[in-house]
Amino acid sequence: MSSLKAESLKDRAAIVGVGKTPQGKVPGSTQLSLATGAFTAALEDSGLDKSEIDGLLTFPGTTAPEGPLNYLRVAETLGIDPAYTGSMSMGGGTAGALVQMAAMAVANGMATNVACVFGDAAKTGGSRFNRASGWGDSWGIWGMMGAAANSAIAASRHMALYGTTSEQLGEVAVACRRHASLNPDAVMRKPITIEDHQASRWIVEPLHLLDCCLISDGGVCVIVTSAERARARDLKQPPVFISGMGQAYTSRTLERPDWWYVPHQKDALDRAYAMAGVGPSDIDVAQLYDNFTISVLLWLEHAGFCGVGEAGPYVEGGRIQLGGDLPVNTAGGNLSESYMEGWLHIVEGVRQLRGDGGERQVDGAEVCLVTGRGMTLNCSNAMILSKDGLK
Amino acid sequence: MSTYDKPLPELTEDNRPFWDGLRERSTLTMQKCDACGHIRYPIGRICPECLAPGGTWTGLSGRGEVLSRIVFHQVYNKAFADDVPYNVVLVQLDEGPRMFSNVVGVPNEDVRVGMRVRLHCDPVTAEVTIPRFVPEEP
Ligand SMILES: [Zn+2]
């Protein structure tokens, strides 16, 4: 891992507003209507005036017809002439990457209040997640296609090397669903058991249906401002500080023998821990990117909650459920709340640190780990969010 | 063979030697860097290790080991509707590169991580022979 010295960004930015649209199937919605709906909700949450938003970073999702020009379309629709803007597409790695860009911008005076905006009409507008990967010759030649395939490759190898079982993957699904049952806004709220998980049909073996996230319509927005401003001003919500940030990328897929294990995730986490000056024992609650159940196991290992190959036994016995050692994905995650490509993980991290978790609140939560990962197991990031900033 | 409706490679000047090797010689052929010896895959114009351009197309043994094995039950492309459940494997080739493929000729349950495999050429059109694998020892 390259040694980076980004400690000067610790606690220099804060999240002061979060917003989301209805999730699931939202008839008549478009990428743009969902993105702007989420912006409006986040602005309302923050108490800021639209005229104060001078930064706009967007993720076009899979259904914005203008693609990478999405920032222009969203800004025009919202009537904003930003000082700082752009769009980025890293799949599930985008949310964290954009919020980190926003934090860098406000910490360095390039903008004052940056809105990070996502919308996707993936359910209504037609899922675009089923293409085959591979540069040059498409992996579709061998029938290697669809979003579950890469995670299934990871799960199969993890099982073969470490003895991880499908039931252990099921523990992740059960935990997320239990948490979603306590979240009135979640799409899937009916509790499930390990037996339900085992009885659900295969999608791509070794992944069952209940190992998979829910393609959904929805929008999410996160507003970031500088820590100085967040502290100096009487804002509507208590600010949540961005104490640690880290990113890392395994751009090589087949050229890297351990690509399936997403080894770069550990680098992203170590960078975030180093900036914040914390380690796994300091984390009160975690929002770990869960496009498929296996992803949570890999995050737990890379984040140091357990050793390499030990995440299967680690998640047994409800350890990642509310009341367990490490509550994970307390709103239900991509698996049961809604597949918002990890954007709602940031929202839930903020809610937990504001103490707004309702029935699913982790008592006394002060430090939250949030992770994201996207593309063909390539793009990862981690953030340490804290209630008061970290000394 | 005239009705093959599954995805096919788009033959280009960059990848033609790979596909010609399979069709004409039943051999996996990949680019070996003239500067550092790295055999690269996917196909590319420069070596990802040392950035040297070009390289020499080199025949491989076609032997390797299954690193991971998955079985598709969901139909993502209707051309595969009659094939499910079918396996996809990540193969570690003996000479170093890795590739996706299918193990054919045995039930999916018998395809296991760690098993040795060898190349099996599957001509699906006049131009394209798809590299698949069979167990090394029957
Ligand atoms: Zn080279």
- Over residues A362-387, the pLDDT tens digits come to 999 999 999 999 999 999 999 999 99
The answer to whether A268 and A262 are in contact (CB under 8 A) is: no
- Nearest chain A residue to B108 by CA: give it: A205
* pLDDT score for B1: 47
State which amino acid sits at residue A318: G
Whether A171 is covered by a domain: the verdict is no
User: How many whole angstroms separate alpha carbon B105 and alpha carbon B64?
Assistant: 17
- Nearest chain B residue to A149 by CA: give it: B70
Inform me whether the pLDDT recorded for A2 exceeds 90: no
Whether A391 is covered by a domain: the verdict is no
Read off the tokens for A70. 């999405």
- Count: domains in chain A: 1
User: How many whole angstroms separate alpha carbon A305 and alpha carbon B124?
Assistant: 48
Whether A143 is covered by a domain: the verdict is no
The answer to whether A80 and A51 are in contact (CB under 8 A) is: no
Domain boundaries, chain B: 16-135
The answer to whether A8 and A38 are in contact (CB under 8 A) is: no
* pLDDT score for A124: 87
Residue B40 Cα to ligand 1 middle (Å): 9
Whether A370 is covered by a domain: the verdict is yes
pLDDT in tens, chain B (138 residues): 458 999 999 999 999 999 999 999 999 999 999 999 999 999 999 999 999 999 999 999 999 999 999 999 999 999 999 999 999 999 999 999 999 999 999 999 999 999 999 999 999 999 999 999 999 986
Look at A254 and B98 and tell me if their CB atoms are within 8 Å: yes
**Which CATH number does the domain housing residue A53 bear?**
3.40.47.10
- Over residues A25-68, the pLDDT tens digits come to 999 999 999 999 999 999 999 999 999 999 999 999 999 999 99
Q: Percent of chain A at pLDDT above 70?
A: 99
Residues of chain A positioned with their CB less than 8 A from the CB of B8 = 141
* pLDDT score for A59: 97
Per the structure, the complete domain to which residue A335 belongs is given by 3-126+214-386
Note the pTM of the prediction, 2 decimals. 0.96
Bridge partners of A370, per DSSP, are: A287, A383
Average pLDDT, chain B: 96
- Nearest chain B residue to A261 by CA: give it: B68
Inform me whether the pLDDT recorded for A229 exceeds 90: yes
* pLDDT score for A262: 96
By DSSP bridging, strand A113-121 and strand A55-59 are parallel
Mean pLDDT across the stretch A251-272? 95
Residues of A with a catalytic annotation lie at 289, 339
Chain B residue set in contact with A, beta carbons under 8 Å: 6-10, 14-15, 18, 40-44, 48, 67-74, 76-77, 80, 83, 85-86, 88, 90, 92, 97-102, 112-114, 130, 132
